[in-house]
Structure 1
Amino acid sequence: MTKKVRGRFAPSPTGEMHLGNAWTALLAWLYVRSNGGTMVLRIEDLDPDRSRPEYITGLMADMRWLGLDWDEGPDVGGAYTPYCQDRRRDLYQAALERLAAERLVYPCYCTRAELAASAPHIGDNIYRYAGTCRNRTDAPADRRPALRLAVPEGTIHYEDLIYGHYAQEVSRAVGDFVVRRSDGVHAYQLAVVVDDGLMNINNVVRGADLLDSTPRQLLLYRLLGLTPPTFAHVPLLCGQDGHRLSKRQRDLSLAALRRNGVKAEDITGLLAWKAGLIDRRCPVAAADLINIFALEKLPITPIIVENNCFLAE
């Protein structure tokens, strides 16, 4: 018997929702709605220094303005409440304690500067860890440790619904990775696995920038005894400079576009055209895309959005 699709959109409230967020939200929503599934909105507000409550309110308003609804979430509740990570820290701690009981985590006292000097740089503030502290016996009194997962050897394989087969030997690609930061905040890799696993999310549609994070998460699913979802990593929406759209590009925030008179149907129409769902750019409501949505129509290369894409709207 085929399980009912449970999908989610899980934004971080660290700025105004922008066109790149809308792209991922729309595709995740269309996948769930086209399969008659349950749509979950979860707020990834783990980082207390960057997350702000007004951004949570704003992104929910923006999603509703776009025509994207949800069946479970922070404002409507559901069987797996709470739907904000800030209120789920005890669940992450329980998972961490399970890993610790099996001696799968260890304290790391390396500073960011030490990591930058000693390890290859593989991404935004991400370094392949050399295992410096794995067998360390001293504990510097002036440093608070992060906790790292002792990654076993072996290759993780998975089938992405868009990009196909993907394989990574996590121990060689990133090494032992952080599951709790030195300031006590649980790492994204741990939190997202615990949340998706305990919420019974069985399909995740998200950006292709997370393709290489997925093997780390699949490893955690296995170690924690949780069932992983299927993954569909969608191509990134990029500006004319080739870099992915971010919250720093405030003129492409939904709030700014809205203030400038751009309609929700103009945005969903542009995104649907870029996704290959319609053959020409035109205004279209999100609900009108449900019956024509198919992952197979999506391109696999990054999608360029012109800086003045709504200038003539």
Structure 2
Amino acid sequence: MERVETRELAYFRAVAEELHIGRAAARLGIAQPPLSRAVRQLERRLGVELLVRHAGGVRLTPAGEVLAREAVTVLDAAEAAVRRTKRAAEREARLVVVLKPGGDSDLLPEILAAYPDDPAAVPVDFKVCDQDERVAALRDGSADVAFLHHPAEDFTGLDVEPLLEEQLLAVLPSNHRLAGRQELYLADLVGEPVARWRGRPALYGKGPEVRDAAQLMQLITLGQAVAVVPESVRTQLRSGLVCVPVGDAPPATVVLAWPEWSTSPALAAFVRVAAQVAARRLPRPSALGRVEFVTAGSALGHTRVGFPASA
């Protein structure tokens, strides 16, 4: 089997993203002829054509499209491995927890009060991120564990521990036609500009795409969007907005997520304490149609929980 160096993948990734040898060379800080030779050498070694050259630049062949996707995965994994290795060598171990504002459903204070009592506990640092950045922080090695929500996130490559469920609410301007209702149903929102998170499937409508809660609240205030969100978002409401329960929407599940195969005792202790704290709250996660399975050699000795792709 032919081995490909990460340097070659980095070169090809730049070409695939720029679709132009000259621009890719400038981005990499190298001359154009060596880059062209490197790509042709990669094609000869793999025995496939990766690029179609034309006067305006290049386009990817089907094989090139596959390698471009795989190159991103491999290079990101290599960078994450380096980052985690360096963090492991730090003199004082720390656990980095990432969350969005209000994304812990008010579990964190109790978790942080109990966590130091565990023999494996280490100091905890926090990163407060936008919607997109939490999973990215887990995958790039800059964070150890994140508070996320099902079904809004992609859990590929992650292990998760469900903590608790939150009712879904519709957030509306106070002058909206539905604002006076005691309860709504998803059918009531058909035709409404239901906002969707950037890079996520449109679960309840095809309204404007938003990157964070501040942008979402601004659009709702302006009458440009409505939203279906977990109950914990109440704490971020602006004046002039109202929340109405959505009776037939499946609840959102607050979960802790971490990179699969992690072996950190400090992380295992944090997940264990979080699960104990959540167990004292109601409601607990229901089946949600999820599939539960135990993986041999699993990171923390926990059950890995997978959610169906259609959820």
When normalised by structure 1's length, the TM-score is: 0.25
Bigger Rg over Cα: 2
Higher strand share: 2
When normalised by structure 2's length, the TM-score is: 0.25
